[in-house]
Amino acid sequence: MCEHANALLTAKPPSGSRRRRIWELDHQCHCPVVGVCLPLDTLRRLVGKALRGKAVADDYEVHVGAVAECMHRNRLSELLQDELDTRYSREVQQARSAKTTPTLADSWTQAVQRGDVAGALWATLTHPRCDTELQGRVCRDMHMLQHQAGARVQVDLARFHAVLGENAVLARELGRVQERSTRLLAEKSADMAQLQAQLVRVRADGLAKDSAAAMAREDLAALKASIPGMDSQVRLQKKIEQMAQRQTELERQNATLRQQLAAATRSLEAWQASPAPQPVRAEGGDRREPLAVPVSVVLNQKVVLCVGGRSGNVASYRDVVERVGGRFAHHDGGLEDSHSVLDASLAAADLVVCQTGCISHNAYWKVKDFCKRTGKRCVFVENPSTSSLVRGLEQVLTQGTPDG
């Protein structure tokens, strides 16, 4: 190859636009074209086709023989020409756009920089604008590229051996991992088989229990059918249970009522045993009257609102209400207390006692209208004395609300 690269390149490319054939190239171009542009298996196939048999020589001898045959037009050179034109038709078509030798040289330089020289080599050497100088440059470039390719092959071979060593290590590690995975998979498969068997047993037990329950229901239905009046007995049993529950509730209510009655009786006995209060001088010169509460009055924590009355008797009013178990509330009927407070007091009261003799006109009609609308029990008392309050309480608790 070195002798070819250093040989004197004196051939001139043909004029015109026709591309040169492989047998028309200088002999020093045949070696790089055959060696670079054609893979060895393709070259062997073409040589065997030309010989109408199978080439038995080694790769070097096949290469040298093919290079020698390219000097003349013959069956092998024609097969090589057709194969190269077909294989690199795209590069040949692209090279047609180069109308001058410098343009063709630039295209070759770009191909060398890209590292894709096989197709560019064939398209450049056979181009009609490839002169002697460009042909020599192409051959020199190919000579150096082949040297560099050989060096890269050595580097790549060293890397290849290193990769082989690493691959062996990884293969051994992979074998261990696969062995461990296989062992774990076998264990999991055994566990799964055990769980599957357990699931089958549980399902079988469930089916057996369902079957036993169904048989028990059938036996119960048959037993009920064999006993006359079974449904009536069941209904009676349910009714007895309901009545027993109702009796329990009534007994609990009776116990509560007995407790309330006992508490009221104790309050009444305590009130009867207490000494009668003496008249007390109040502010403004009024005296509190002695209490005279009837036995029949029991308020059971009801709120009694007294509207109006003399201010000196308010304490006596409160004493009367609280002695019979009530809660006392008072409004002066608009003399000093606000009418808006009266609305809230009426809403909170259970019983209302209106002292008509000591109340404003507006408060009187407000009390009467409110009690009539809401149905709240109310008694109207003209005399503001304590005894009148007691009679009013007895009246409102025993007879209901008077018409006023």
Q: What is the pTM of this model?
A: 0.36
216 falls within a domain: no
66, two tokens: 């093919």
54 falls within a domain: yes
48 falls within a domain: yes
Q: Are residues 15 and 144 in the same domain?
A: yes
- Are 352 and 302 spatial neighbours (Cβ–Cβ below 8 Å)? no
140 falls within a domain: yes
End residue of a domain, out of 158, 189, 216: 158
Question: In the prediction, which pLDDT does 403 show?
Answer: 43
Question: In the prediction, which pLDDT does 5 show?
Answer: 41
Q: Are residues 154 and 279 in the same domain?
A: no
End residue of a domain, out of 125, 158, 191: 158
Q: How many domains does the chain have?
A: 2
Question: In the prediction, which pLDDT does 185 show?
Answer: 92
* Mean pLDDT, the chain cut into blocks of 10 residues (404 residues total): 42 65 90 88 87 79 88 90 90 88 88 84 87 88 77 64 86 92 92 91 89 86 75 79 86 82 74 53 43 57 86 84 87 72 86 84 88 89 81 73 43
End residue of a domain, out of 158, 178, 208: 158
228 falls within a domain: no
CATH of the domain at 295: 3.40.50.2300
Question: In the prediction, which pLDDT does 274 show?
Answer: 59
306 falls within a domain: yes
Q: Are residues 150 and 298 in the same domain?
A: no
Question: What CA–CA distance (Å, rounded) separates 367 from 158?
Answer: 117
53 falls within a domain: yes
Q: Are residues 151 and 17 in the same domain?
A: yes
233 falls within a domain: no
Count other C-beta atoms under 10 Å from residue 313's C-beta. 23
Q: Are residues 152 and 279 in the same domain?
A: no
Question: What CA–CA distance (Å, rounded) separates 393 from 379?
Answer: 8
Domain hosting residue 26, numbered range:
2-158
Question: In the prediction, which pLDDT does 174 show?
Answer: 93
Q: Are residues 23 and 152 in the same domain?
A: yes
